[in-house]
Amino acid sequence: MTIKIYPHAKEIPGEPLEIHEWEGTLVDFIRSQRQDPDQPQRLHTHVEVNGRELTRDERSTFILKADDDVRIWIQAAQGDPITWAVVAAVALSAASLFLRPGIGGINRGNAQQGTRLDVASASANQARLGEVVPELAGRFKRYPDYLTPPRRHFLNGPREQWIEFLACIGPGEYEIDANDVKIGDTPFSGLGVDGSYGIYPPGADLSFLTAAQHWHTVSEVGGTSTGQAGIELGVDMQTTSHSPAPSYQFSGVTIAIPSGYSQTFPPGWGPGTLVRIEVNRPETYAAEEVSAVTRFSGNFGHILPLPDTTIVHVSGAGLDGDYVVYNASLDGSGNGYIELWTIEVPPTDEDPIGSPSVPVVVADGSYTMTFKRAINVTLGGASEEFVTLSGYSFPAFESAASITYAGGAAYGAWTSIFSITPANEVTDFIEFDFFFPNGLAEVLTSGDLASRTANIEVQYRDKDIGGAWTSLTYAYTQATLDQIGFTVQRSILSMRPEIRVRRISPTTTSTQIQDKVSFYGLRSRLPTRTTYPAWTTMAVYVRSGNRIGAQSENQINVIATRKLPTLQAGGTWSAPVATRDISAFARYIATTIGYTDANLDMDEIERLHDIWVARGETLDHIFEETTVKGAIDTAFGAGMAELTIDDGLIKPVRDDVRTSFEQGYSLQNITGPLKRNFRTRRVDDHDGVEVEYIDGQTFTKEVIQCLLPGDAGIKLMKVKLDGVTDRTRAWRIGMRIRREMRYRRWTYQIETELDALNSGYLSYVPLVDDIPGYGQSAILHSITASGDDALLRVSEPLVWADGESHVVAYRRPDGTVAGPFAATPGPDDYSVIASIPLPWPVISLSLEPPHVYFGTTERWAFPALVTNIVPGDGRVSVTAMNYDERVYADDNNAPA
C-alpha cells in the first residue's frame, strides 16, 4: 500500500512531504521509522485509511491491505523533542510551506487585473450575494454592503421621495463616531430631517425597522432608455376616434357593428366613456285630429324638448315630407303627444330652422316618423365589436348613425404584464408608484392654477392561476407644477402576482395643461430576516428626489474601528475594545478556525506587540476573499513581520537589527562546502520602489516613491501594500525593500545532518568556512584559566593576521553561539586567550564537544539570515542571505 505523510495540520492544504510503499501493519511502519509506537501523544497526528480516520486504539492493531490508501498528517507539539526524520520535517513545516524572503502582506510587482472590486478601495454600496462578508481590521472607511434591496418610495406627501435599506458593516462590533457616518462626503448630521440612520450590534432585533424589510423591486418598471422617469401612461386621442360603420344594430343597451364590416369601436372606450350618438330612428305613431290639429301619440324617447327645433320626416297616408315639432307634451319617459307644422318661411341666418306657419292636418291612422336623435350617454362597457349603454336603451333596429367620443373616461393602452416577485416567491403585500414629472394642473389665462385630475387603472392576478383580473382605480387631483409622486400599498392574498397598468383619463396637447404621468416603481414585500447574530448592521433613511444627488444615494459610508480583545501584560486579553493592534486581529483570525492561544507563539507575539505599539505600527484594512493564512500574513506584514509555523505554533518573524547570533554553522557541522553566490547589478534592475497604499485620512489610493542616492527612479518596482494607511510607514517599508535590493546580494547554501532543524526562518546565524582570509573553525579540546581570562586549546592551528584585531566564539550545546569575544594569541598555534564570561563551555564525552570559531573582528564569519530549510533523507538543506545593517537604516526615518 501507499503511505503519504503530510508535514502540517490536516486542515492546511498541501502536497505530501514523503510517500512510502509499505507492506505490513501500521505499527511496524512506525517502528521502521525508529519511533516508539506507544508514545503517539507527543504528536498531533491524524491517520486516515481509505478516507476513514483511525482512532488511537485502532492505529496500534490495524492491518493494512495492499490497495489501502493511507494518509498521515503530523504536527509536532510545542517543546517535543524531534528525533524522527519524518517528524523533524514537520517541526519546520514553515520551511517548505511558508518560509520565503520579503515582508508578508506585500504584493510586489504589478497586480493582476481582475473583475472583482477591491473592498478596500470601494466607493459605493453594493450587494454581495453569495459572497464572503468582508472583515474590517483596525480603522478603515467602509461602504456597508446591502442586506436588503434599496427601497425607493414616496412618503409624507407627494413631494417627498425616500430611499431606505439595511446594510452590513461587518462581523463583530465597531466603534463609530457620528461625524464619521456620511453620504458621500457629507455627514448625516448635515442632512437634518432629510436623513437618518441607526447602527445595531450583532443579534439585535430589527423587526421594527422598515429598512430591514425585504422589498423586491421590479427592474422592468422605472426609467426608460428614452429618458423618461418611468413608463409613461398616456391616452392617444386617436384611440378614442371612430371610423363609422355603414350601419349599426341597436337593441336595448347594446349597439353592435354588424358582422362583415371591418370597422371596430375605439380601443380607448370603456366604462365611464361619454359618447354622442346621432341616429335617424324611424318609428310608427298613431295620429288623430284634435281641434283642427293632428296629434301624434306614443313614446317619443329623448327628442329635443323644445318646439320648433326637431326636424321630423313623416310618411304615410299620402304624406312624405319634412316637418318640425311645434308643440309637445311629454312626460319624463317620452310618452305623450306632439304636433307637427309645416315650414312656410325659408330658413335665414337669424332663424336657421325657419318659422312654422301651418299645422299639419291629416286623417287618423298610423304614420312613420323618422326623428334625428342626438344624445350623450355613458358607456357601461366596450369592446371592438359592441358597446353597452348605461341608463339608456333603444328598441331593436338597424340604422346608419354617428357615434363619437364626447368626454369622460378614455382608456390608454395597457402596459406590459409584469411579474411582481422573483421566481418561486410569493407575497401578500405590494406597492407601486406613479410619478408626475411636470406636476398636475391647468394654467388659466389669468396665470392661476386650476386643479386637474388623472385617473389610473391597475389590474393584478395570480400568475400561476391566471384568469380574471382584480381591477383598482386611482384618481389624483392636484394644482401644482412641481414634480410629485404617489406610492400605493395594497394587501393581497398570498400569491405570485402579475400586474398591468393603464391611464383612464384623456391626455391633452394643450400647453396650459400638465398631466403627464408615469408608472414609476413596482415592488413586493418578501419574507424578512429580523436579526443578524454575527454582524453589525446599519439602517439608512435618506430623502432623495431633488434633495440630494442620485449619484450619492449608494455612497453611504462609515469610518469604523474594530472592537477586539487586546493583549495585556502577562499574556492575558481584555474585553473587546476599539483597537488597531496587529496582535488583536491576528489572534482573532486564528480563532475563526478554532485555534486558541495554545496554537500561537505567545512569547514572540507579546515581544513584537510591545514593539508594534511603541512604534505606532497598526493594522488598518478590509479583508475580502482570502485565506486565514493570507489574512494573518497581511496583519503581520503591517508590522514588518511574516507568518511562520515554528514547533507547531503560529509565529510572527520580524526582520530587524540583530545583535546576537543564534545557531552557528561551520565545517564542524556542515556536510559539504559553503556555497556562496553574488548577484551583480544588471541594467534591467529596478532603481527604486513605488509603494501604493490607502491613505488613512482620505481613504484613497496614494503612491510614494522610495529612492536611494543615485537612483534615477526610471524602472520602479511596483508594490501594493495592504494594512498600512500611514505615509511614513509606507515609505519605511518601501525603503526597506529598496535597501534589500541594493544590499542583499549574497546567497549562501549549506547542508547539515539534522543540526539545521534547530534554526528557523530569518534566524541570524554565522557561517564559517575555510576560505583564506576569512574565519576558521575547530573543536574545543580544553578551556582553562589564564589569569582573568580563559585559555582555549583547539583542534586546528589558528592563523593570525598581522595588524588585525581578532575574536573567538564557541557553540553552546543547544547550537547557539556565544561571543564573539576579543582574542589574543596563546602559547602556541593551537591555543587562544579570550575574556569569556562564566559559565565556560563543558567538555564531556557524553556531549558533542563545543565548536570554536576564530578570525579577524570583521571577517571571522559570514553573518546571514536563514530563508529556507528543506529536510531530506537524513540531511537538511539550508539557504540564507547576507545580513547587512544598512538594510534597516531608514526604519526610523521619514520621507522628505
User: Which grid coordinates are listed for 208?
Assistant: 421594527
Q: How does pLDDT run across 825-840, given as a tens digit for each residue?
A: 999 999 999 999 999 9
Are both 445 and 466 inside the same structural domain?
Answer: yes
Residue range 1-10: mean pLDDT, rounded: 73
62 and 162 assigned to the same domain: no
Amino acid identity at 687: D
Q: 82 pLDDT exceeds 50?
A: no
Give the rounded percent of residues in the chain with a pLDDT score beyond 70.
88
568 and 549 in one domain? Answer: no
* Helix (H), strand (E) at residue 659: none
* Residue 109 included in any domain: no
Residue 668 scores a pLDDT above 70: yes
What whole-number distance in Å separates Cα of residue 197 and Cα of residue 167? Answer: 11
Same structural domain, 512 and 460: yes
881 located within any domain: yes
Q: Are residues 781 and 849 in the same domain?
A: yes
Number of domains in the chain: 6
* Whether 470 and 388 share a structural domain: no
The DSSP secondary structure of 491-502, one letter per residue, reads EEEEE-EEEEEE
CA distance linking residue 84 with residue 848, whole number of Å = 20
Let me know: does 38 contact 44? Beta carbons within 8 Å. Answer: no
Please answer whether residues 459 and 384 qualify as being in contact, where contact means their C-beta atoms are separated by less than 8 angstroms.
no
> Of 606, 625, 654, which residue sits at a domain end?
654
In three-state secondary structure terms, 440 is strand
In a 10 Å sphere around its CB, with 0-12 CB exposed, 13-18 middle and 19+ buried, how is residue 466 labelled?
exposed
Cβ contact 367:381 at 8 Å? no
8 A C-beta contact, residue 877 and residue 755 = no
Entry pTM: 0.74
127 within some domain: no
155 falls within a domain: yes
Lowest-pLDDT range, 213-217, 409-413, 720-724, 867-871? 409-413
Chain segment 626-657, per-residue pLDDT in tens: 889 999 999 999 999 999 988 889 999 999 99
Please give the Cα distance from 654 to 632 (Å, whole number).
14
With vertex at residue 255, the alpha carbon angle to CA 253 and CA 257, rounded to the nearest 5 degrees, is: 160
Are residue 375 and residue 249 in the same domain, yes or no? Answer: yes
CA distances from 231 to 218, 413, 422, 519 (A): 13, 12, 20, 5
Q: Do 537 and 502 belong to one domain?
A: no
**Residue 8: pLDDT over 90:** no
Q: What is the CA radius of gyration of the chain?
A: 48
602 and 550 in a common domain: no
- Indicate if 373 and 245 belong to the same structural domain: yes
Residue 17: which domain range?
2-91
**Domain annotation covers residue 480:** yes
According to DSSP, the β-strands at 449-450 and 441-443 are antiparallel
Q: Which of 389, 408, 427 is the last residue in one of the domains?
A: 408
Cite the beta strand spans of 400-545 per DSSP E. Answer: 401-408, 418-419, 427-436, 441-443, 449-450, 452-462, 470-478, 484-495, 497-503, 513-514, 517-526, 535-543
Q: Does one domain contain both 359 and 475?
A: no
Q: What is the pLDDT of residues 678-724, one digit of tens each?
A: 999 888 899 999 999 999 999 999 999 999 999 999 999 999 999 99
Whether residues 486 and 427 share a domain: the answer is: yes
